[in-house]
A and B are shown apart, each in its own frame.
Chain A
């Protein structure tokens, strides 16, 4: 496992060469374009977000310094807190749902067998389609008149009246969960599969000889040895879900009755529909703090097992 940390391996021989010092500086030129892009499109915007959050900043006209007023307003912004609550709820449910589908799939495709490669490819295909395409596709499947699910259930006689899946919260919410699981499960499956394959086969065999049943082996060998893989799959799923926007915007427009507005959606509304840029920036700062806190938890989850490399 490589870390993203600070292991710079300096070429020991190059150091001794005469004039090598200047040649090493050329490295700066090689990384300059990347650093410039990160400064322009990441560092400056990040600093500006903090700066703007202290201002009343309309799209047109002058902006004015208002101190912490935006943050005070956030405290009273029940719709933002509702959006955060909904985002958290969605994140928990969708992550459980993804794992419930992806883990069995990973166990299924882990060992090489005839057709396994085909199955893997089929399960993975929706993952390379964009979220926007997938959302547009499912908004059609879920449509009450021209779609698939409701008319099909009607034709089969399962329901006696066409049922609009997107009109009330529960069916709409679970429709989104189904769509996201369809789209993401294959991706999580591949990550979990890599974790499963890294477990030494002889450990399992030794446990079988010792008389351990499949369940005991899963608990005592598979799960502990997969901790970092599980953590990674969990992190990717959580990080992706907290930032969810496309599917709620395209399929539900935040409805029914604004019940499915996510945090990013609310920031989008404030910044680019109401054009309260300063307030949107303050909301972004709150989201940023939450995400950075989560990143720290993630780093802890991904720590190396003690006593091992």
Chain B
């Protein structure tokens, strides 16, 4: 009797627990699911409130097709976003791997000063120095160019990714290096052939953060990219949502939001392990 009662109580507790979990999960997923489902409605239906969220008058990709008709078109902005994000990933990985290796394995003048300088950039947010960044880019002839934006984004990534890479290199035992040096490996071969495979998880983590950071950034892109042909997706979609291209087409806006969200979600789901790792590494610092 007593055993059955306690078993029932445990079962009830488990049911309560999982219903809480499932309801909370649905609440968190609902806005995303709602938006994605509603993009498949025909344009006329997409203007109406999304009740129910899924298309009732037939499946359609109209909302995605119309996106390309606003201004320079979605495809141009998407290309800009892809270019900026990929370049930010490539450059911040190269710069951070080099710097992480340098800070971990060499002694040189001003080493501590440089390291603290790079890390201290987190204390001062770029939002407060955007105006002069704008002027610096103009001086460099990078005004209103995607390359200039990439430079800003890479710099934003540096404190986190250099910290991350220095720790990754610090964790590699020196014996491995010394053995390779005995075999006559130069600094560069050592870095590429011996060290890089050992710090690979760190590289994936910083690449992931660089991509998400660049893909989602809004304010700097809004300020620095004045020409419509240079807009990244967030800036382009905000222009559309503000009614800059006539009456607001909510179906198209949600299609754009979906295009912006899906790469982030896929990357996160595929590389979750690395993302959480990065978060934890950032957290213990």
Contacts and interface: CB of A to CB of B under 8 A. Distances in A.
Interface in B214-228: 215-219, 223
Give 8 nearest A-B pairs by CB, closest first: A27-B106, A130-B216, A30-B102, A151-B49, A132-B234, A48-B132, A45-B132, A122-B25
B110 to A, nearest CB: 8
A45 B133 CA distance: 6
Given A35-B117, A138-B31, A194 B280 contact: yes
9 contacts: A27-B107, A30-B101, A31-B98, A38-B117, A122-B25, A130-B217, A136-B260, A152-B51, A187-B279
A147 B283 contact: no
B285 A2 contact: yes
Interface stretch (B57-65, B69-77, B147-155, B198-206): B147-155
Interface in A115-129: 115, 118-119, 121-126, 128-129
B272 A121 contact: yes
Contact of B49 (A119, A128, A147): A147
A272 interface: yes
B185 interface: no
Interface in B239-276: 241-242, 250, 253-254, 256-257, 260-261, 264-265, 267-269, 272, 275-276
A201 interface: no
A210 B219 CA distance: 54
A191 to B, nearest CB: 5
Interface in A3-50: 3-4, 6, 8-11, 13, 15, 23-31, 33-35, 37-38, 40-46, 48-49
Contacts of A33: 94-95, 98-99
Contacts of B217: 130
A130 B264 contact: yes
B47 interface: yes
Interface residues of B, number: 99
Contact of B106 (A26, A151, A277): A26
Interface of B: 17-18, 20-21, 24-25, 27-29, 31-32, 34-35, 46-51, 94-96, 98-99, 101-103, 105-109, 111-112, 114-119, 121, 123-133, 135-136, 140, 151-152, 154-155, 158, 162-163, 167, 170, 174, 178, 187, 212, 215-219, 223, 234, 237-238, 241-242, 250, 253-254, 256-257, 260-261, 264-265, 267-269, 272, 275-276, 279-280, 283-285
Contacts of A29: 102
Contacts of B241: 136, 139, 250
Contact of B234 (A52, A133, A146, A187): A133
Contact of A6 (B116, B121, B256): B116
Interface of A: 1-4, 6, 8-11, 13, 15, 23-31, 33-35, 37-38, 40-46, 48-49, 52, 105, 108, 113, 115, 118-119, 121-126, 128-133, 136-141, 143, 145-148, 151-152, 155, 182, 186-187, 190-191, 194, 229, 232, 239, 243, 245-246, 249-250, 253, 264, 267-268, 271-272, 277, 280-281, 284-285, 287-288, 291-292, 295
B253 to A, nearest CB: 6
Contacts of A43: 117
A250 B242 CA distance: 8
Nearest to A152: B51
Contacts of A10: 107
B112 A8 contact: yes
A25 to B, nearest CB: 5
B133 A31 contact: no
Contacts of A131: 216, 218
A118 B127 CA distance: 36
Contact of B28 (A38, A132, A186, A277): A186
A115 B18 contact: yes
Contact of B268 (A49, A125, A143, A229): A125
B118 A35 contact: yes
Contacts of A136: 234, 237-238, 241, 253, 256-257, 260
B136 A44 contact: yes
